Structure 1
Amino acid sequence: MITGELKSQIDQIWNTFWTGGISNTITIVEQLTYLIFIKDLDETETRNERMSKRLNKEFTPIFGADQQDFRWKNLKEMDVNERHAIFSNTVDGIFPFIRSLGSEKSLFSTYMKGATFGISKPAVLDQVMEKLERLDMSNQDIKGDIYEYLLSKLEGGGTAGQFRTPRHIIKMMVQMMQPTLEDTISDPAAGTAGFLVAAKEYIDKHYDVTELDKHREHINKDMFSGSEFDATMLRIASMNLFLHGVEEPNIIDVDAISKDNDISDAYTLILANPPFKGTIDKESIAPGLRNVTDTTKTELLFLALMLRQLKKGGRAAVIVPDGVMFGSGKAYTSIREEIVANHKLEAVISLPSGIFQPYSGVSTAIIIFIKTDNGGTDNVWFYDMLADGKSLDQKRNLLVDADVFEAFSFGDIEDGLSAVEDLKNLHDKFNLPDIIKRFASLKYPKQSTEAQRKRTDQSFLVPFKEIKANDWDLSINRYKEIVYEEVEYDEPEIIMERLRKLNEERGLLMKQIQA
């Protein structure tokens, strides 16, 4: 979440648009996104140039010899009117250039065709660029926070349960699922493509350049997919992936759970935080989804969609509202039974209710499952996350060192701290490293200690039979045992004597005051 100086800087840019006569919120968000994209393109080009010199290796430049005026570092040095003319030029200016990025028939190119320049006054463009130049957006987290803050300003932002997933939670989920170069990864509620970007970052980090080059075509065209029906989000998601090295982002323009989406048996990994508390007209729902859960609730239909879209053996990590875990309606129990009985439910991680503050206090959980079509759930691993490294109030202040938070939230368990006492102190404020480590240990049952954990512990295993007997209830409170500390009270006579003495003291004080 943006706070302090950064929030103030974004607000100043916002006010520049308003005072310059641009008051439409969507227009401001889009124009700022384009400018951030243009700035990022130049920064990406600069990094590639440096790497090319260092490694003595050729690279394909983003900007041609006759397009150097489109680079941010050159634009910011231009005369105000000259710069505005480059932005306004609809034939061979900067916007025709960014619309041409990506292959001619790519979805990225399709969505960028709608990108148009909407700042009519040269002075407004000059002031906005000057203020953007002061923003340090080298950190991807900051960039994500800026997007979050911009999107929160959109009219109706946060309705239908559409909240940006905190980046450290995304990174934890990606680390738990450990995507590979062979995976085809999807997010059916892509938004700004946060999950897909994090998966790409994970892959870039865990594979060397030779392996990445070998799979370059797969990465550029097939590895990352998603769906989104908001035109602004489509462009933002596409730009976000493009800047992270995915040349042809495969984000399709469709309402994921509608009849228009017929994708099935396509992906090996799904990472998602679908909309909560939304509904869809019965007539619009893809028929096959209602066979799994007969409902109009989006949080249930998305789970049915994921089961349809996964290949056999494919896996999913999904954030769902708590109601999905224990809802007693037929639609709720049927989707839970489908996942537990007919596929393999691996884990349920209960999240603190403040995770989505300041936008919502909704309680949520992460469920991790594998599509098998023939069952396989043996024991389900439950974890009660109590602390995510930030305060659970509306301020969401960081409770641990920023460098440690960054390293641990992406699974670098041994980085930064080594002493057992330090790890214990960290855990009290930040459970993510423990979750990643314990979940990974489940792959090696003989080495894992999870089977010995008690129901009073933060994590434990629950057998299939017990879940079935509880009407497929997946709420952690159904199975967790709470230890109550015995409190001893004084005898009534002692308490009464204490009260009598207090009354005497009060009486003496009143007499002194009156005197």
Structure 2
Amino acid sequence: MLTNSELKSQVDDIWDRLWSAGLSLPTDSIEQFSYLLFLKRLDDEENKREKQAKLRNKPFEPKIPKELRWSHWRNFEGAAILKHVRDEVFPWLRSLGNPKDKDKDTEAADSKTLEGSDNEQPLSSFVLYMQNAEFKISKAATLIEVCKIIDKMNIAEQNQDVQGDLYEYLLNKLSSAGRNGQFRTPRHIIRMMVEMIDPQPTERIGDLAAGTCGFLVNAYEYILEKHTNPEGLYDAEGNKHPIGDLLSEAERKFLKTEALTAYDNDAGMTMLRIGSMNLMLHGIEHPRFFLMDTLSKNFEAEKFLDVVLMNPPFTGKMDSDVNPALPDKCKKTELLFLYQILRSLEMGGRCAVIVPDGVMFGSSKQHQDIRKKLLEENRLDGVVSMPSGVFKPYAGVSTAVLMFTRGATSDRIWFYDMDHDGFSLDDKRQAVSENDIPDILECWKRRFDDDFNAQRERRKLEIKELLKPLKSQRLELERDIHRLKFEEAIAPEDDDSPRLALESAEQNLKELSEKIAPLQNEINRLNRQFWVDRALVKSNKYDLSASRYRVVEQDEVFYELPEITTGRMLKLESFIAAEVRELEQLLES
């Protein structure tokens, strides 16, 4: 989520300049911007490696020839910069990631490797998809100005997956943005899912609709961080630099060459190139990101993954070419992807996947069948219900995260009903203090810890006891306020005592509400985690809506006694009658 207004303005400026330079197709602008951003980030990564080498007193071995680095050619002037980037830098970029000893005679075999066969030195998907890439900026002045703006963005200083965020923002400029589920998953949601699924360095991790490969990048970083010596995880400025120094050589090689597999059906190659660049920038030298519609007949792989992390497209339909291994009467992509995930996982494999709320409670046979399959033939480990604003401004749909294990079973399902994700739930998505994600992660990791759960239950009882007198006092104040409002309405004009008493009571109620609010918020948070028996879910047609099972404690609401209300009505009626008589007397005089 790109929330920085200055960055947005700079992206808009780049967009306008590229359009003015003749790149009228939005996809062309996105690609050219991505190439330049990639070159800048490569240079930043080279600077970071050099800095890390100095901190560890190790020799620095550059990966990029000096004359091809952004910091070298960026200051060229006039036609020289255009010629250098077009004739020297871009050809090098197109071959980046290609093994040194490749020759043309082996490219066909390598292409097969991309479809899933094993090879010690596979051709990078980045190289494959960049073969037909073109550098389309034709004006030196445009290139110079765009590079200046990218420099001002200070990409290296941004604590986020900036390339994916910028692409998301650019995607919003397309007329089709947001359709068919084409919006990027917020990074903090990806991180939550990765941490909950806890991928290991020897596991095969995949995303069947990868987009910019955010899930795989985060899984890779998570594994590196978990296997980095804590003493060397942070630099002098407090910045995190996971290097995975505790990984064995075999684990490191597997992680960089075989562990991560991604698919996308973007026939225009834009997503495939950007996703491959994203993987390479994070240390995956030979990305395994394949052009493939994983719901189609052409996708034959099965039982080849240990972990699936993804946010598949929803609201789409498959009318033809559906893989025959999937249910033939099911057309909704959000349901088909769940079947395909199960087909792709090894027995015991784990998944965290985002689905729209319709999957959780849909009443059609197709909806009920997939939920039944998850509960009866596999182990549905957990459900995190997310608020509807998580994907704004691109979509307002309510979603949930399903976590399941293939081939196991369980009698209980863990639920968490998220209320806040750390950002406002409107289109602006500004950072806020309310954030359930830390509690979600702690509850998930300790969900089988009896002491932890008992402690939460005890705390709930303590809060209830603290709230009892406060809520009783609140009811009394509400009763007084009702009475004082009536007394103020019928009081003589020269009698201010009811008004003053009312103002005092309302102020007391405000202060009391401020005391109640933090306690109520805490008990609400403690109630967001709960367990549901599988038998109960089955009896409700496998409905997985958190709202169906979460116990919500209703506060006692103040209602005036009927006899008091009727008494006041009679008194008010007599008061009005007296006022009318007084008015009549004034008219007669």
Same fold (TM over 0.5): yes
Question: Normalized against structure 2, the TM-score is what?
Answer: 0.76
In structure 2, what is the Cα distance between the partners aligned to 1:338 and 1:211?
Answer: 39
The residue that corresponds to 1:296 in the other structure is: 331
Compared with structure 1, are the counterparts of its residues 485 and 75 closer, same or farther at alpha carbon in structure 2 (3 Å cutoff)? same
Question: Normalized against structure 1, the TM-score is what?
Answer: 0.86
The residue that corresponds to 1:103 in the other structure is: 98
Correspondent of 1:476 among 546, 555, 567: 546
In structure 2, what is the Cα distance between the partners aligned to 1:254 and 1:470?
Answer: 37
- Segment drifting more, 21-30 vs 143-152: 143-152
Kindly indicate whether residue 357 of structure 2 is the aligned counterpart of residue 322 of structure 1. yes
The residue that corresponds to 1:418 in the other structure is: none
In structure 1, what is the Cα distance between the partners aligned to 2:382 and 2:146?
Answer: 46
Q: List aligned pairs for 1:425-504, cutoff 5 A.
A: 429-445=434-450, 447-449=452-454, 457-490=527-560, 491=562, 492-493=565-566, 496=569
Letter in structure 1 aligned against 2:22: G
Q: List aligned pairs for 1:350-361, cutoff 5 A.
A: 350-361=385-396
Percentage of pairs with the same residue: 41
Compared with structure 1, are the counterparts of its residues 173 and 450 closer, same or farther at alpha carbon in structure 2 (3 Å cutoff)? farther
Structure 2 SS opposite 1:241 = helix
In structure 1, what is the Cα distance between the partners aligned to 2:575 and 2:391?
Answer: 47
Instruction: Measure how far apart 1:445 and its partner are.
Output: 4.9
The residue that corresponds to 1:42 in the other structure is: 43
Kindly indicate whether residue 89 of structure 2 is the aligned counterpart of residue 94 of structure 1. yes
Q: List aligned pairs for 1:148-163, cutoff 5 A.
A: 148-163=168-183
The residue that corresponds to 1:394 in the other structure is: 427
* Cα shift readout 1:308-367 (whole Å, capped 9, x = no counterpart): 111111100000000000111111111111111001001011000111111111010001
Kindly indicate whether residue 219 of structure 2 is the aligned counterpart of residue 221 of structure 1. no
In structure 2, what is the Cα distance between the partners aligned to 1:103 and 1:477?
Answer: 51
Instruction: Measure how far apart 1:137 and its partner are.
Output: 1.6
8 Å CA contact 1:450, 1:459 repeated in 2: no
The residue that corresponds to 1:255 in the other structure is: 293
Compared with structure 1, are the counterparts of its residues 256 and 60 closer, same or farther at alpha carbon in structure 2 (3 Å cutoff)? farther
Instruction: Measure how far apart 1:443 and its partner are.
Output: 4.4
8 Å CA contact 1:269, 1:310 repeated in 2: yes
Instruction: Measure how far apart 1:450 and its partner are.
Output: 9.4
Letter in structure 2 aligned against 1:398: A
Compared with structure 1, are the counterparts of its residues 487 and 58 closer, same or farther at alpha carbon in structure 2 (3 Å cutoff)? same
* Cα shift readout 1:103-140 (whole Å, capped 9, x = no counterpart): 34222210121321010111011110011110022223
Considering only aligned residues, what root-mean-square deviation do their CA atoms show, in Å?
A: 2.6
Compared with structure 1, are the counterparts of its residues 498 and 398 closer, same or farther at alpha carbon in structure 2 (3 Å cutoff)? farther
Kindly indicate whether residue 82 of structure 2 is the aligned counterpart of residue 84 of structure 1. yes
The residue that corresponds to 1:125 in the other structure is: 143
Count of residues in correspondence between the two structures: 471
Letter in structure 2 aligned against 1:57: K
- Segment drifting more, 353-362 vs 449-458: 449-458
* Cα shift readout 1:448-494 (whole Å, capped 9, x = no counterpart): 44996999821110111111111111111221233322322234325
Compared with structure 1, are the counterparts of its residues 73 and 461 closer, same or farther at alpha carbon in structure 2 (3 Å cutoff)? same
In structure 2, what is the Cα distance between the partners aligned to 1:116 and 1:22?
Answer: 12
The residue that corresponds to 1:243 in the other structure is: 281
* Cα shift readout 1:138-178 (whole Å, capped 9, x = no counterpart): 22344432221012223311111221111111111111111
Correspondent of 2:346 among 292, 311, 316: 311
Correspondent of 1:267 among 305, 308, 326: 305
Structure 2 SS opposite 1:211 = coil
Kindly indicate whether residue 62 of structure 2 is the aligned counterpart of residue 61 of structure 1. yes
In structure 2, what is the Cα distance between the partners aligned to 1:275 and 1:450?
Answer: 40
The residue that corresponds to 2:483 in the other structure is: none
Compared with structure 1, are the counterparts of its residues 160 and 502 closer, same or farther at alpha carbon in structure 2 (3 Å cutoff)? farther
8 Å CA contact 1:267, 1:310 repeated in 2: yes
8 Å CA contact 2:34, 2:163 repeated in 1: no
In structure 1, what is the Cα distance between the partners aligned to 2:356 and 2:557?
Answer: 35
Correspondent of 2:190 among 137, 162, 170: 170
In structure 1, what is the Cα distance between the partners aligned to 2:456 and 2:538?
Answer: 19
Structure 2 SS opposite 1:290 = coil
In structure 2, what is the Cα distance between the partners aligned to 1:334 and 1:60?
Answer: 56
Kindly indicate whether residue 159 of structure 2 is the aligned counterpart of residue 146 of structure 1. no
8 Å CA contact 2:3, 2:430 repeated in 1: no
In structure 2, what is the Cα distance between the partners aligned to 1:25 and 1:470?
Answer: 47
8 Å CA contact 2:378, 2:404 repeated in 1: yes
Unaligned runs of 5+ in 1: 401-428, 511-515
The residue that corresponds to 2:402 in the other structure is: 367
Structure 2 SS opposite 1:264 = coil
Instruction: Measure how far apart 1:2 and its partner are.
Output: 2.8
In structure 1, what is the Cα distance between the partners aligned to 2:455 and 2:317?
Answer: 38
In structure 1, what is the Cα distance between the partners aligned to 2:125 and 2:265?
Answer: 13
The residue that corresponds to 2:414 in the other structure is: 381
Compared with structure 1, are the counterparts of its residues 295 and 449 closer, same or farther at alpha carbon in structure 2 (3 Å cutoff)? farther
Compared with structure 1, are the counterparts of its residues 19 and 479 closer, same or farther at alpha carbon in structure 2 (3 Å cutoff)? same
The residue that corresponds to 2:69 in the other structure is: 71
8 Å CA contact 1:438, 1:450 repeated in 2: no
Unaligned runs of 5+ in 2: 100-122, 229-243, 461-522, 584-589
8 Å CA contact 2:202, 2:255 repeated in 1: no
In structure 2, what is the Cα distance between the partners aligned to 1:78 and 1:43?
Answer: 19
Instruction: Measure how far apart 1:222 and its partner are.
Output: 0.8
The residue that corresponds to 1:25 in the other structure is: 26
Letter in structure 2 aligned against 1:114: N
The residue that corresponds to 2:209 in the other structure is: 189
* Cα shift readout 1:5-58 (whole Å, capped 9, x = no counterpart): 221111111111122232211110000000000001111111112222332435
In structure 1, what is the Cα distance between the partners aligned to 2:574 and 2:430?
Answer: 45
Letter in structure 2 aligned against 1:288: A
The residue that corresponds to 1:425 in the other structure is: none
Letter in structure 2 aligned against 1:320: V
Compared with structure 1, are the counterparts of its residues 178 and 59 closer, same or farther at alpha carbon in structure 2 (3 Å cutoff)? farther
Instruction: Measure how far apart 1:251 and its partner are.
Output: 0.9
Letter in structure 1 aligned against 2:445: A
**Bigger Rg, structure 1 or 2:** 2
Letter in structure 1 aligned against 2:79: N
In structure 1, what is the Cα distance between the partners aligned to 2:571 and 2:419?
Answer: 39
Compared with structure 1, are the counterparts of its residues 129 and 485 closer, same or farther at alpha carbon in structure 2 (3 Å cutoff)? same
Compared with structure 1, are the counterparts of its residues 202 and 497 closer, same or farther at alpha carbon in structure 2 (3 Å cutoff)? farther
